[in-house]
Amino acid sequence: MTPDEFAEFRKFEDTSFGRIAYAEVGDGRPVVFLHGVPLSGYHWRRQLKAFRATRRCIAPDLMGLGHTEVDEDQDLSFPAQARMILMLLDELGVDRFDLVANDSGGAVAQLMAVADPQRLRTLTLTNCDVHDNWPPPAFVQTFQLARAGRLGEVSNELIANLGLARSDLGLGVGFENPECVTPELLQAYLGPIAGNEKRQRQLDRYVASMDCQQTVAIHEDLKKLAVPTLIVWASEDVFFPVRWAAWLRDTIPGAKDVIEIPGARLFFCEERAEEVNACLRSFWQALG
C-alpha cells in the first residue's frame, strides 16, 4: 500500500483535542493500531491490507505526528494521547475493540487499557515504552534535541539526506534492513512535519513530554489487568530489550507468553509484517 493508496482511507474527526487524522478500512470487529515516533498510522499499512476483509481497521495519527492537527498549547503527553484515542473511538461509535501498539504507542495503549479495560477485547504490545525504561538510553540524544527545541528541524535533514536517514542517527536504527527507509517512506512519515515550523515544534514537544512517571504510575493497575494480552517482541531492538517483554508478561495477568522475533528491530511490524500478522491472527482466532 503506497502513501497515495493509504491516503484514500484517511479521514479526519474534529474533537476537543483537535482535528484527528485516522485511516479506516474494512468491516467487522474493530481493531485499533497505535504507532510510535516519528511515524504515523501509515506504519500499519500492511496490517490494514491483511485484515481489511474481516476487520474494521482503524489507525490514528497521534497528536504531534502524522496528519493530526492540534493547537500549539495542546497537551501531548501520553495520558492526553490515551484520552484522545478513547474520545476518537467514542466519536466513531467504537465501543469494544482489539488494540495493537508499537513504540511510544505502546505506552499510550497501556494507559488506555487501565483507564477503560472493559472496552478492550484484547491487547497486543510490541517493543514499546514500559514502566521506567524510557526514554531509553539509545534515545537520549534525540530526547535532548527535542528538549532544546531542535529535533523538529532534523526532519528537514532526514528527508534531504537518505544516507543520514538510513543510519543509526535516523530512522534506520529502527529497521533490520535500513534500505527499508526510502524517500517515499520518509515523505510519508516526515512530510507533514518538515518545513512546517508549527509541526516541528509539536514534534519537539511530543518527545520532550516523555516522562516514565506516566507509566510507573499505572504499575498497580497493570497488575490487575485481566485483558487477554499478546506480547510480540523484536530481539535486536536497541531501545527496548527483550527483558521488558518478560516484565510485561510477569506484570499483566492477562499476558501468558512472549513471542520473540529473532533478528528484528523496533519497526518490525512493517518490515516483517507477515510474521506479525500471523501472530495476531492466531491470537484473535483462539479467543473466538
| Nearest residue to 31 (alpha-carbon basis) of 16, 53, 15 | 53
- Domain membership of residue 164 (yes or no) is no
pLDDT by 10s per residue, the chain, length 288: 899 999 999 999 999 999 999 999 999 999 999 999 999 999 999 999 999 999 999 999 999 999 999 999 999 999 999 999 999 999 999 999 999 999 999 999 999 999 999 999 999 999 999 999 999 999 999 999 999 999 999 999 999 999 999 999 999 999 999 999 999 999 999 999 999 999 999 999 999 999 999 999 999 999 999 999 999 999 999 999 999 999 999 999 999 989 999 999 999 999 999 999 999 999 999 998
Domain assignment present for 143: no
Question: Is residue 227 a part of any domain in this protein?
Answer: yes
**Would you say residue 190 lies in a domain?**
no
What is the domain range of residue 126?
3-134+212-286
73: CB partners within 8 A, 6+ apart = none
For residue 112, give Cα distances in angstroms to 94, 115, 179, 207, 244.
14, 5, 34, 19, 19
Domain count, the chain: 1
CATH number at residue 70: 3.40.50.1820
Q: Which long-range contacts (CB under 8 A, 24 or more apart) does 192-199 make?
A: 192/40, 192/66, 192/67, 193/38, 193/65, 193/152, 193/155, 194/155, 194/156, 194/158, 194/159, 195/156, 197/152, 198/72, 199/64, 199/152
What span, in angstroms and rounded, lies between the C-alpha atoms of 47 and 184? 19
Please name the helix (run of DSSP H) or strand (run of DSSP E) that holds residue 257, with its range, or none.
Answer: strand 255-261
Q: Is residue 282 part of a domain?
A: yes
The answer to whether position 247 is within a domain reads yes
pTM over the 0.95 mark:
yes
Residue 248 lies in a domain: yes
Does a structural domain hold residue 155? no
Identify the residue whose cell numbers are 537520549: 140
